[in-house]
Amino acid sequence: MSALVIRFSSLGDVVLAAGVTAALGDVVFGTSAAFAPVAARFVGVQEVVALSPGESPWSFARRLPPVDRVIDLQGSLRSHAVCLLVNQPTTRLTKHGLRRRARVALKTAPPSRSVVERYADAAGVQLGPTPWLTRGPLAGGGPVVLAPGAAHATKRWPEARWAALARAIEVPVTLLGGEAEAPLLQRIAEAAGREDLSVVAERGFERSFAVLEACRAVVANDSGLLHLAGALGVPVIGLFGPTTPEDGFWAWEGQGRALGVPLPCRPCARFGGPRCPIGDHACLEDLAVERVLDALGEICSAGAGSRPR
């Protein structure tokens, strides 16, 4: 039975849907054009149909091949319209918008199921182990990749900490990010002062995949690149500030570590924001380089038999 899986955005959410496609097989995946190259690597995906910027649901639905069922992991008005136009049995992700707002405002208990688990519930599947993306064999002994970018400023560990971490790691280091993050990566590279440090900032994902497949581990903020590395099966360290791993966006417990500073103000936002609400950004300012370095050594020792320091 073929299935249409819909997740238009954003990068991290799209990548987490790969757990569903790997479990289903024979999937048509509908996503935004920017993420089509990533979705094309999902295990179980036979075809990707890319939504162009500004395209109508009617135009998008016309280009879809015949399917037997639809799994709507987006839950937006546009994805609902596509489901109606396809006119096949449909299951949808249960949105937890009100619960997440209460979690931020009232510090209520975190959800019992992660986002990727709720995706699996909507699809009626059991998640299997990573990798969820097709790839070659991981190098294991390559560089450590640092991904200091994030869509929201409050999710970013301070630049000085990234530079200090890069200096302390005793194996080669690559800074990785999107095209818009090139100035950030360059500032960190200059502050780190390492001649063997590489910088990869691209529009798209071709070089990013090559870097991730060749690395021994990834350190990243709570961002799309964190989830991309995790779905490839790479050991990962996730740095969490205004959001927390308990809020559902940490799916890599068996292959990495999620780090944060326990503060009563966390979580302070559903997705992060432009500035700390109380002005000190202590959730990430107080996350010590040595703590990240120790966690990195632990996962590298477990995965490749050698420490990066």
**Residue 307 has what pLDDT?**
37
Question: Domain 3-123 class?
Answer: alpha beta
pLDDT band for 306, please (50, 70, 90 cuts).
very low
Q: How far apart are CA 87 and CA 77, in angstroms?
A: 15
CATH of domain 144-304: 3.40.50.2000
Assessment of whether the complete model's pTM goes beyond 0.75:
yes
Hey, is 292 helix, strand or coil?
A: helix
Contact 239, 221 (CB under 8 A): yes
CA angle 70, 72, 78 (to 5 degrees): 110
Hey, do 3-123 and 144-304 end up sharing a CATH topology, with the first three levels equal?
Answer: yes
Q: How far apart are CA 108 and CA 49, in angstroms?
A: 39
67-93 pLDDT tens trace: 999 999 999 999 999 999 999 999 999
Bridge partners of 83? none
Q: What is the mean pLDDT of the chain?
A: 95
Hey, is 283 helix, strand or coil?
A: helix
C-alpha distances (whole Å) from 186 to each of 156, 183, 215 are 15, 5, 20
Q: How far apart are CA 242 and CA 250, in angstroms?
A: 14
pLDDT band for 139, please (50, 70, 90 cuts).
confident
Instruction: Name the residue ranges covered by the structural domains of the chain.
Output: 3-123, 144-304
Which residue from 21, 115, 12, 117 is spatially nearest to 71, judged by alpha carbons? 21
Q: How far apart are CA 309 and CA 162, in angstroms?
A: 15
Which residue from 187, 148, 150 is spatially nearest to 292, judged by alpha carbons? 148
**Residue 276 has what pLDDT?**
97
Residue indicated by tokens 């937890």: 96
Contact 119, 16 (CB under 8 A): yes
Give me 264's structure tokens: 């009563």
187-221 pLDDT tens trace: 999 999 999 999 999 999 999 999 999 999 999 99
Q: Which residues does 149 contact at the CB level (< 8 Å), separation at least 6? A: 156, 177, 178, 181, 184, 185, 221, 223, 225
